[in-house]
Structure formats: C-alpha cells, structure tokens
Amino acid sequence: MKKLAELYSGKAKTVYTTDDPDRMIMEFRNDTSAFDGEKVEQLERKGLVNNYFNAFVMEKLAAAGIANHFEQRLSANESLVKRLTMLPVECVVRNLAAGSLCRRLGVAEGIDLSPPVFEFFLKNDALHDPMINDSHICTFGWASAAQVADMKTLTLQVNEILGALFADAGLLLVDYKLEFGDFHGTLMLGDEFSPDGCRLWDAKTRDKLDKDRFRQGLGGVVEAYEEVAGRLGIALP
Ligand code: TMP
Ligand code: ASP
C-alpha cells in the first residue's frame, strides 16, 4: 500500500491517503502533547511504542467483537487503517477518579467509581474539549441518536474487555478515551488506544504508567509505556 498525500496532521499522529480510497496510513509520531497542545515534547521511541501498543489492543478488541479501523502494522511507526468519517466527540469511561473529574467535582483521586462514569467531550482544542451530553450531540448534529447509543454501549463493552486484559497484567485501567467514526454506514472504533489516551496504574503501588507522567513532569514517560507493553507481552523491537 503506497502513501500518497498527507490528509491530516494531529498532535501525535499524521494520516496519509493511499491508492485505496477506503484505507489510510496512520503514522505515530514522537510528539507528546498535553493541555490541548500547550506543552509539546519529542519523546524518543514513543511513536514506535504506541504503534505496537495500539495494534495489540485493536486486535484484542476485534477478536472480542468490537469492530475497529485497524488492519495491520506496516512499519515501526505506521499502521494501515480503514478511512472512517470521524465523529467530533470523545467518549470517556472512568473506573477510578482522576484528572478532570477530580478538578470538576472536587472528588479525591483514586476513589472507586461504581458503576463506571461515562462522559462525552467535544473534540475541540480551541474550546478545551468541553464536556457535552447526548442532547448537545443530537441538537448540533455531531452524531445521530443511534450513534450516541452505540458509542456508549461499545465504550462500556471495551471497559469489560480491556479492564480484564490490564488486570491480568497487574494494572488498573483508571480511565480512557475512545473516538468513533462511520465506515459506509457502520459505526466503528477509530483513532488509537495507547497510554497517551488512557490512565493505567500499577495495581499494587498505584504508580502512574501513562501520559500523566508527562502532564505532571514525573519523567520516565516512555519507560512506563514500555513497562506496560512488556507486562502485556507486546514484543517491541
Ligand atoms: P481527563 O481526566 O483529562 O478528562 O481525561 C480522561 C481520559 O481521557 C484520560 O485517560 C485522558 C483521555 N483524554 C485524551 O486522551 N485526550 C483528550 O483530549 C482528553 C480531554 C482526555
Ligand atoms: N491530548 C490532549 C493534548 O494534547 C489532552 C491531554 O492528553 O492532556 O493536549
């Protein structure tokens, strides 16, 4: 599959068209950003680790019945994916309180959230990804009522699948963000799943092994991602 033109460059990935109008190539870059792109750094090997991590997770999800855009890893930093029409919403599930939930509601970090919390955010850096609800999504046409219902169901199914996968590796899946898109009338999981877009804590020590290490200046960011990959059995070059 040949890379043709650059289609879109985001904060951590660039996507390219291919000779197949239904496929694109997703390149995972070393750029690491936080606070809606305010803090950006290049972290050696981050693109490679996230590419392998995403391939592993997307294959597990597909095997468990979650349709997604991933097709195959092409190189250290690139994967072939289906070209979806993305919906401009982010779906977040939280099992333990962290991040913006603590800031917004004044709850202590680390408390158990049972049942898990589900939230929608609008994908818009200029507006700082504001929290939105089903009503906003339908009124402004960001997704249909059926897509809203399906995104919630699928995101919570992913929680069951990945919660168990990470638990087996001695990790707590604290929270995560998913993005969906349409592929010829079928809703599918798109974007990526990597420690850039989720929170993972060591189950015993509660050490942070995700992008909060970068956000909070804790250091050892890629080392933590590699630690998680190793525990999952992902072989990295
Ligand atoms: P939050 O606590 O900042 O709302 O984030 C919740 C989860 O969603 C966390 O795992 C990080 C992820 N996330 C992203 O990956 N990108 C984003 O733009 C936002 C707002 C959250
Ligand atoms: N991904 C967003 C950014 O780069 C938000 C975050 O992960 O903190 O700013």
Q: Is the pLDDT of residue 120 over 90?
A: yes
Same domain, 73 and 106: no
Same domain, 134 and 203: yes
Same domain, 135 and 76: no
CATH, residue 112 = 3.30.470.20
**β strands within 123-221, DSSP E:** 131-132, 171-178, 180-183, 186-189, 198-202
Instruction: Answer whether the bond into residue 115 is a cis peptide, omega within 30°.
Output: yes
Query: Is residue 174 within 8 Å of residue 201, measured between CB atoms?
Result: yes
| pLDDT of the residue at 1 | 79
Mutation to probe ligand 2, out of 30, 31, 36, 92 (largest number of atoms < 8 A from CB): 36
Same domain, 34 and 66: yes
Residues sharing a CB contact under 8 Å with residue 230, sequence separation 6 or more, in sequence order: 236
Please give the model's pTM, rounded to 2 decimal places: 0.98
The rounded percent of the chain whose pLDDT value lies above 70 is 100
Give the nearest ligand 2 atom to 36 CA: 9
Q: How far is the C-alpha of 202 from the C-alpha of 171, rounded, in Å?
A: 5
Same domain, 122 and 216: yes
The answer to whether the CB of 215 is under 6 A from ligand 2 is yes
Domain count, the chain: 2
Same domain, 140 and 214: yes
Of 1-5, 95-99, 223-227, least confident by mean pLDDT is: 1-5
Q: Is the pLDDT of residue 109 over 90?
A: yes
Mean pLDDT across 178-196: 98
Domain-embedded: residue 94: yes
Q: Is the pLDDT of residue 61 over 90?
A: yes
The answer to whether the CB of 47 is under 6 A from ligand 1 is no
- State the average pLDDT for the chain: 98
Domain residues for 53? 3-82
Same domain, 50 and 125: no
Mutation to probe ligand 2, out of 9, 13, 33, 46 (largest number of atoms < 8 A from CB): 33
Same domain, 27 and 130: no
H or E, element range at 139? helix 134-139
Dihedral pair phi/psi, residue 24, rounded to 5°:
-140, 165
Domain-embedded: residue 237: no
| pLDDT of the residue at 229 | 98
Same domain, 105 and 38: no
Mean pLDDT across 46-62: 98
Same domain, 96 and 78: no
| pLDDT of the residue at 39 | 97
Q: Give the sign of the dihedral formed by CA 204, CA 206, CA 207, CA 212.
A: positive
Mean pLDDT across 54-75: 98
| pLDDT of the residue at 40 | 97
Mean pLDDT across 173-201: 98
Domain-embedded: residue 55: yes
Same domain, 93 and 76: no
The rounded percent of the chain whose pLDDT value lies above 90 is 99
pLDDT band at 137 (very low <50, low <70, confident <90, very high): very high
